[in-house]
């Protein structure tokens, strides 16, 4: 089987869209690159991605080629358009003639804006990860829509593959970020627990009492001072609380040790 240059470019674009497991990842530049690849692979004038949250459009990302046009066309879809329709149905919106759609009063605000920008046709595919819909990819082309025999079905498949890869990348990075956050929280909690145990041991030895009594005294001191227990433990370990009568086991004024 002989592969074309376009197929190699598509493969590279799919890998790039899904490669998001890095700390410096940012969604907008990544989706802009996806839009750029769509323009190149689909011979489009421009393209854009609209992320959705609870049915509301958020964070548009557009191709660097005619970026202003793409952004304007995405913003014109708040009252209806291919992005919202694809996102709402979870299915592709096949290539549509802008003039025909305008004459049929389909997406009037959007089609009027598209005609102003000399967009001839458009189509959209959902940005989805399995059952999770994240938004839609919208492609704007300068030529009339062709019949399926002329490659329209293939163009939709390429666009959907790019959208799917982008969705995988976004979902993977969200999961990665969540696990990174959780891991950091667990490390912090473990480190805090170690410090508290160390301070508890120091106080038990200093007062010649059991570990439970030492912990009670440490916690009581933190509550009286309205300080986090971990902060009190750290101060004790670092010797910053050596002049504190209560932690030395002496009776504080008006209280008990």
pLDDT digits (tens, 9 = 90+) for 121-171: 999 999 988 888 899 999 999 888 765 555 467 889 999 999 999 999 888
**Per-domain residue ranges of the chain:** 5-178, 191-248
pLDDT at position 241: 59
Give phi and psi for 193, each to the nearest 5.
-65, -40
Q: Within 10 A of 93 (CB to CB), how many other CB atoms are there?
A: 22
User: Quick one: average pLDDT of 65-86?
Assistant: 92
Which residue's structure tokens are 């969705």? 167
Asked if domains 5-178 and 191-248 share a fold, the reply is: no
Q: Which of these ranges, 115-124, 143-152, 207-216, 243-252, has the smallest mean pLDDT?
A: 243-252
Architecture of the structural domain at 191-248: Orthogonal Bundle (1.10)
Question: What are the angstrom distances between the C-alpha of 187 and each of 8, 73, 191?
Answer: 43, 46, 6
Which fold would CATH assign to domain 5-178? Beta-Lactamase (3.30.450)
What is the average per-residue pLDDT within 185-200?
Answer: 84
Predicted pLDDT at 9: 85
Q: Binning pLDDT at 50, 70 and 90, where does residue 211 land?
A: confident
| Per-residue confidence band for 251, with pLDDT thresholds at 50, 70 and 90 | very low
Mean pLDDT, residues 182-208 taken together: 82
Q: What predicted TM-score, i.e. pTM, was given to this entire model? A: 0.70
Report the chain's C-alpha Rg in angstroms.
Answer: 30
Mean pLDDT of the chain: 83
């Amino acid at each position: 089987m002989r592969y074309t240059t376009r197929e190699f470019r598509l493969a590279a674009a799919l890998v790039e869209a899904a490669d998001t497991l890095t700390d410096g990842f940012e969604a907008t530049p990544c989706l802009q690159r996806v839009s750029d690849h769509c323009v190149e692979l689909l011979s489009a004038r421009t393209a854009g991605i609209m992320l959705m949250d609870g049915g509301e459009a958020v964070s548009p990302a557009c191709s660097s080629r005619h970026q202003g046009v793409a952004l304007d066309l995405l913003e014109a879809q708040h009252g209806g358009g291919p992005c919202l329709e694809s996102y709402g149905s979870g299915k592709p919106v096949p290539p549509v003639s802008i003039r025909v759609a305008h004459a049929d009063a389909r997406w009037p605000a959007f089609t009027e804006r598209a005609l102003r920008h000399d967009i001839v046709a458009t189509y959209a595919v959902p940005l989805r990860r399995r059952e999770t819909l994240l938004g839609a990819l919208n492609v704007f082309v300068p030529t009339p829509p062709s019949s399926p025999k002329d490659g329209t079905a293939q163009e939709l498949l390429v666009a959907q593959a790019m959208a799917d890869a982008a969705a995988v990348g976004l979902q993977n990075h969200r999961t990665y970020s969540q696990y990174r956050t959780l891991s950091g929280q667990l490390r912090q909690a473990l480190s805090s627990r170690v410090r508290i145990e160390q301070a508890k041991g120091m106080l038990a030895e200093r007062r010649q009492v059991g570990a439970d009594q030492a912990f009670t005294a440490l916690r009581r001191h933190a509550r009286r001072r309205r300080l986090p227990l971990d902060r009190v433990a750290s101060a004790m370990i670092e010797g910053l609380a050596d002049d504190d009568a209560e932690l030395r086991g002496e009776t504080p004024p008006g209280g008990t040790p």
